[in-house]
């Protein structure tokens, strides 16, 4: 199963991903009208600044997700096969329990009504909008094994570089 | 009508990313990524993603406007063009061609820029300039003299083949994010990134080595690196002997210069300078990437020459992965320079001083009025208008001089004193408020034409949508005006103009710009030249010129009244004076107001908490901002973006004697709570 992985060392903080996410979750799916739509389309991932780095935070779709566990109306649900955590807008009562227990703070609130918004992994798309929008491939949509290979390759080149610098 | 995809080029920075505009029933409704684009591979930064937002903004100019006291009157095109032609003719009669000043726009197409300078020069006027004066004029002089061309030597994607990249005075992570795509690729393959900047920018976060130099000390840093390379015998002797001139002068000029002096001036530790020098000189392919941090100084040309010296003694040019990248700021600033919208060059950087150039253009344009001498730069035009009124009328296309020129109050005075000012733009900018006539122009998506990106890529874009109201393409406006001024400008389309350019401008000869990727200049039959200077330099004897430069303090120094050094730069969400991005809701939302970065130690000693409302004052004026307490800036240094109106009030704009560039980066200032 493919996941959205983040290469933590290379985000520029440009926030193209946030913009593409909001547009993808607008009714017309167009930047031209997104800003004037009601409800205002909200981003579902967040580029945060910490310790001299930008870190994009995006829902991890946890196994046995705490947001699903605490949802008392069954609005927050996890697909047993894909593992994607999504919420049924019709059942959400806006108690924000899910937002409180999320360890990454990636469950946001819709401005206009008591309703949460979160990453749905862009169900209708082959590649999530944020991943496609990232200009430097900080966000990667891949199988875990393939992502690990990318990290190993990066680590190997870091090692090689350090070694050659010493020489 | 049906839904269609129109290939186009992003209108913001000079990377030249391709994208498709989705057009439905004559209206732009969205964008799609252009996955096979050679420079961007479908990726876009936030500005590219939001490029359409300003298209249908209610502030767009839709009718020609005439000043009537404090009011604007909507007028028809014939009336507007007659007024403009009348005003310019009157100034011509009274003050001669030297009394006119023209500023071309880097947001226009090559064809429009070409026609504008052709019109100006056919009127006998030499005063034509563009925003390049404030951006890479130091590169035009510096690289022009040293290497014979002023452009990126290699294409952007070739950065991926570099084994060592020296990024100096560039924050490409925010301002040219797509460049970072290629730099990261180089790093994935084991390449090293060295970042030199007074400010710990997002570009610096990704660096293997960060050299935080004192503002304005670039020459000392580069000379320090050169000194190490000379002392440790890391030069490429063969390259120096075969392909350069002037090396022995450089060697002797640095005899008295020591590494400890470089350390003292720059504030960068000697060991870091040594590390950077060794990495750059030893790597099999090193590239230099630079931007406004190098050029926008009163010694900008020296800075560029110092970089050229560094790459020439190491022979780091003319191969894959080795070269120099002056990153241009606006989508077509390269093209505007290529097209000769500079007071000292005809199209194709052909020199005024060469009688053959004069003769060629005289014959091609059928004009015997072409000016024989070089004209005034845009800053000199403002000086002339403000001081003694020798410039009486100006015609400014798509440049917000009132907000972007240094010491803006002086610019405002100049604009106010003009007898006649015409502004051609898509919004009523601060500059347009001074105008007698405002002509509403079509923006990039509303017209066809070509633009040239920073990597010499000439890309054609088609018209996607109609301009709002009566707004017209700049090409149409220039042709109609030129005809009223008695010139034979009967062009039916941009393509016809491009044919003339390809005929006349050597570097564009044979170019057949297409959409979706375009073509690189210079064009050769045997294929694209993605790497310049593989065998020779287009200078006398085919050799590059090494010229020794010395560190000079050219910027304002701190004093007891103005104890801080203010540096000015750009941020990711905005573009230049902000006339486009401030009207783009998603971009404005990311950075809604001006801020000033201050080191936490300074903030503490001044009792300023994060987000405090402050006023930053220099000898020229003041600007309000909110503080951002961050160790991105060194103690004693402040940083402020210039996108928000009023920042360039603060800088004085001392001139570079070679390029006429103004000192836009550094000013001595004080900061106080307000």
Confidence category of residue A48, pLDDT binned at 50, 70, 90: very high
Q: Could you tell me if residue B545 is inside a domain?
A: no
Nearest-by-Cβ selection for B184 from A10, A13, A19: A10
CATH number of the domain where residue B30 is located: 2.20.25.90
Please name the member of A9, A31, A153 whose beta carbon is closest to the beta carbon of B30.
Answer: A31
Classify residue B541: in a domain, yes or no.
Answer: no
User: What CA–CA distances, in Å, run from B239 to B236, B247, B311, B326?
Assistant: 6, 11, 11, 22
B7-31 burial string, b = 16+ CB within 10 Å, else e?
A: bbbbbbbbbbbbbbbbbeeeebbbb
Single residue among B474, B502, B527 that ends a domain in this structure: B527
CB distance from A45 to chain B under 8 Å?
no
| Closest CB to A12 among B30, B180, B586 | B180
Q: Do A14 and B43 touch (CB under 8 A)?
A: no
Place B193 in a pLDDT band, splitting at 50, 70 and 90: very high
The helix (run of H) or strand (run of E) holding residue B415 is helix B408-417
Position A167 pLDDT exceeds 50: no
Residues B605 and B654 both lie in one domain: yes
What are the tokens at B277? 């020098």
Q: Kindly tell me if the per-residue pLDDT of B652 is higher than 90.
A: no
Judgement on whether residues B387 and B291 belong to the same structural domain of the protein: no
The alpha carbon of residue A19 and the mean position of all alpha carbons in its chain are separated, in whole angstroms, by 12
Two tokens at B255?
A: 């005899």
Residues 6+ apart with CB under 8 A from A99: A67, A105, A107, A108, A109, A116
Reply yes or no on whether the pLDDT at A166 is more than 60. Answer: no
Task: Tell me which chain A residues have a C-beta less than 8 angstroms from the C-beta of B45.
Answer: 14, 16, 135
Q: How far apart are CA A64 and CA B336, in angstroms?
A: 59
**Residue B523 shares a structural domain with residue B623:** no
Q: What is the distance between the alpha carbons of residues B112 and B497, in angstroms, rounded to a whole number?
A: 8
* Secondary structure percentages of chain B, helix, strand, coil, to 5: 35, 20, 40
Same domain, B26 and B100: no
Q: What is the mean pLDDT of chain B?
A: 94
At B526 the pLDDT is 65
The answer to whether A134 contacts B43, with C-beta atoms less than 8 Å apart, is yes
Reported confidence tier of residue A33, pLDDT bands at 50, 70, 90: confident
| CA separation for the pair B614, B631 (Å, rounded) | 18
Give the CATH number, domain containing residue B521. 3.40.50.740
Measured over the CA atoms of residue B507, residue B509, residue B514 and residue B516, the dihedral's sign is negative
* 8 A C-beta contact, residue B375 and residue B126: yes
Taking a C-beta distance cutoff of 8 angstroms, is the pair A141, A4 a contact? yes
Task: Say yes or no: B30 contacts chain A, CB-CB below 8 A.
Answer: yes
From CA B104, how far away is CA B378, in angstroms rounded?
Answer: 10
Residues 6 or more apart whose CB falls under 8 angstroms from that of B118 comprise B365
- Tell whether B193 lies on the interface with A, counting CB pairs under 8 A: no
- The H-or-E segment that residue B569 falls in is strand B564-569
B547, part of any domain: no
Please name each of the domains of chain A with its CATH number. 59-118 (3.30.70.20)
Of B13, B30, B54, the position where a domain reaches its end is B54
User: Which range of residues forms the domain containing residue B282?
Assistant: 137-327
Please indicate, yes or no, whether residues B120 and B154 belong to a single structural domain of this protein.
Answer: no
Of B40, B190, B206, the CB nearest to A10: B206
Give start and end residues of each alpha helix (H) in B474-593: 474-484, 494-504, 585-590
- B304 and B156 in one domain? yes
pLDDT band at A164; cut points 50, 70, 90: low
Give residue B665's pLDDT.
93
Q: A49-105: per-residue pLDDT in tens?
A: 887 789 999 999 999 999 999 999 999 999 999 999 999 989 999 999 999 999 999
Could you give the CA distance from residue B85 to residue B360 in angstroms, rounded to a whole number? 28
The answer as to whether B555 is a domain residue is no
Nearest CA in chain B to A16: B46
Say which CATH number the domain at B179 has.
3.40.228.10
A30 vs B29, B40, B205: nearest CB: B29
pLDDT at B1 (0 to 100): 58
At A43 the three-state DSSP class reads coil
User: How many other CB atoms are found less than 10 A from the CB of residue B619?
Assistant: 14
Kindly compute the dihedral angle of the four CA atoms of residues A11, A17, A19, A21, in this order, to the nearest 10 degrees. Answer: -150
Q: Which residues of A touch B55 (CB under 8 A)?
A: 32
B588 with B506, same domain: the answer is: no
Minimum distance, in Å, between the CA of residue A23 and any CA atom of chain B:
10
- Judgement on whether residues B50 and B176 belong to the same structural domain of the protein: no
Same domain, B350 and B278: no
pLDDT band at B36 (very low <50, low <70, confident <90, very high): very high
Is there a domain that residue B546 lies in? no
Q: Is residue B556 part of a domain?
A: no
Asked whether residue B549 is domain-assigned, the answer is: no
Place of tokens 């991005």: B581
CATH of the domain at B624: 2.40.40.20
Q: How far is CA B51 from its chain centroid?
A: 19
| Contact list, A23 vs chain B (CB under 8 Å) | 49
Chain B: residue whose CA lies nearest to A9: B206
Cα diameter, chain A: 63
Strands, DSSP E only, in B35-181? 65-68, 71-74, 100-103, 128-129, 164-168
B419 falls within a domain? yes
Both B336 and B319 in one domain: the answer is: no
The ipTM is: 0.86
Instruction: Provide the domain count of chain B.
Output: 4
B279 in contact with A, Cβ within 8 Å: yes
- If asked whether residues B23 and B69 sit together in one domain, one would say no
Q: Which of B300, B327, B354 delimits the end of a domain?
A: B327
B236 and B204 housed in the same domain: yes
pLDDT in tens, B476-520: 999 999 999 999 999 999 999 999 999 999 999 988 888 878 899
Question: Does pLDDT of B131 surpass 90?
Answer: yes
């Amino acid at each position: 199963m493919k996941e959205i992985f983040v290469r933590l060392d290379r985000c520029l903080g440009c926030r193209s991903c946030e913009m593409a996410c909001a547009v993808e979750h607008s009714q017309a799916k167009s930047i031209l009208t997104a800003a004037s739509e009601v409800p205002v389309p909200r981003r579902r991932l967040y580029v945060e600044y910490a310790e001299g780095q930008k870190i994009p935070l995006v829902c991890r779709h946890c196994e046995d997700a705490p947001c699903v566990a605490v949802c008392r109306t069954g609005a927050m649900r996890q697909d047993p096969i894909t593992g994607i955590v999504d919420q049924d807008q019709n059942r959400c009562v806006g108690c924000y329990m899910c937002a409180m227990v999320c360890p990454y703070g990636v469950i946001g609130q819709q401005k206009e009504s008591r309703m949460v918004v979160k990453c749905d992994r862009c169900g209708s798309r082959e590649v999530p909008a944020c991943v496609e929008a990232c200009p430097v491939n900080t966000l990667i949509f891949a199988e875990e094994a393939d992502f690990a290979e990318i990290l190993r390759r990066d680590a190997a080149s870091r090692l090689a570089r350090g070694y050659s610098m010493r020489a | 009508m049906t839904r269609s995809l129109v290939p186009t080029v992003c209108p913001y920075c000079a990377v030249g990313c391709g994208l498709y505009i989705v057009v439905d029933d004559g209206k732009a409704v969205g964008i799609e990524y252009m996955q096979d684009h050679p420079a961007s591979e479908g990726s876009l930064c936030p500005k590219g993603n939001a490029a359409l937002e300003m298209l249908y903004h209610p502030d767009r100019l839709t009718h020609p406007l005439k000043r009537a006291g404090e009011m604007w009157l909507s007028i028809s095109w014939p009336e507007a063009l007659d007024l403009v032609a009348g005003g310019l003719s009157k100034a011509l009669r009274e003050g001669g061609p030297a009394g006119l000043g023209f500023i071309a726009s880097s947001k226009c197409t090559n064809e429009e820029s070409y026609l504008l300078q052709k019109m100006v020069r056919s009127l006998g006027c030499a005063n034509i300039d563009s925003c390049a004066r404030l951006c890479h004029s130091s590169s035009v002089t510096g690289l022009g003299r040293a290497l014979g061309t002023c452009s990126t030597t290699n294409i952007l994607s070739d950065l991926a083949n570099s084994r060592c990249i020296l990024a100096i005075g560039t924050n490409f992570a925010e301002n040219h994010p797509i460049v970072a795509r290629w730099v990261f690729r180089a790093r994935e393959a084991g390449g090293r990134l060295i970042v030199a900047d007074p400010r710990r920018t997002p570009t610096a976060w990704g660096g293997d080595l960060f050299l935080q130099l004192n503002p304005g000390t670039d020459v000392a840093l580069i000379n320090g690196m050169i000194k190490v390379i000379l002392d440790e015998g890391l030069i490429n002797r063969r390259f120096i002997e075969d392909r350069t001139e002037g090396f022995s002068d450089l060697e002797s000029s640095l005899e008295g210069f020591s590494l400890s002096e470089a350390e003292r001036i720059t504030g960068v530790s000697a060991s870091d300078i040594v590390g950077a020098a060794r990495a750059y000189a030893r790597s099999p392919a090193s590239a230099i990437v630079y931007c406004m941090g190098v050029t926008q100084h009163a010694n900008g040309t020296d800075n560029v020459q110092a970089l050229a010296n560094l790459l020439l003694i190491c022979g780091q040019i003319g191969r894959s992965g080795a070269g120099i990248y002056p990153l241009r700021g606006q989508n077509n600033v390269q093209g505007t320079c290529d097209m000769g919208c500079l007071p000292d060059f005809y199209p194709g950087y052909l020199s005024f001083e060469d009688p053959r150039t004069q003769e060629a253009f005289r014959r091609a344009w059928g004009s015997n009025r072409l000016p024989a001498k070089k004209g005034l730069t845009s800053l000199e035009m403002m000086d002339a208008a403000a001081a003694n009124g020798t410039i009486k009328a100006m015609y400014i296309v798509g440049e917000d001089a009132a907000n972007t020129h240094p010491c803006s109050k002086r610019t405002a005075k100049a604009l106010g004193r003009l007898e006649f000012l015409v502004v051609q733009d898509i919004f009523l900018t601060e500059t347009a408020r001074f105008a007698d006539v405002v002509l509403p122009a079509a923006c990039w998506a509303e017209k066809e034409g070509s633009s040239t990106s920073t990597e010499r890529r000439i890309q054609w874009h088609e018209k996607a949508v109609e301009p709002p109201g009566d707004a017209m393409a700049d090409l149409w406006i220039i042709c109609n005006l030129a005809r009223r001024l008695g010139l034979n400008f009967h062009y039916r389309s941009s393509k016809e103009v491009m044919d003339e350019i390809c005929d006349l401008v050597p570097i564009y000869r044979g170019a057949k710009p297409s959409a979706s990727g375009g073509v690189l200049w210079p064009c050769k039959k045997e294929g694209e030249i993605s790497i310049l200077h593989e065998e020779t330099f287009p200078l006398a004897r085919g050799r590059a010129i090494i010229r020794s430069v010395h560190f000079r303090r050219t910027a304002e120094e701190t004093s007891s009244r103005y104890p801080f050094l203010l540096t000015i730069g750009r941020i990711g969400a905005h573009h230049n004076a902000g006339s486009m991005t401030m009207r783009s809701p998603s971009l404005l939302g990311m950075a809604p107001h001006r801020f000033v970065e201050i080191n936490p130690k300074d903030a503490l000693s001044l009792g300023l908490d994060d987000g405090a409302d402050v006023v930053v004052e220099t000898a020229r004026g003041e600007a309000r901002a909110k503080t951002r307490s961050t160790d991105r800036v060194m103690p004693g240094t402040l940083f402020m973006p210039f996108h928000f109106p009023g920042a360039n009030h603060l800088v004085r704009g001392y001139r570079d004697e070679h390029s006429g560039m103004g000192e836009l980066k550094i000013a001595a200032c004080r900061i106080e709570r307000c």
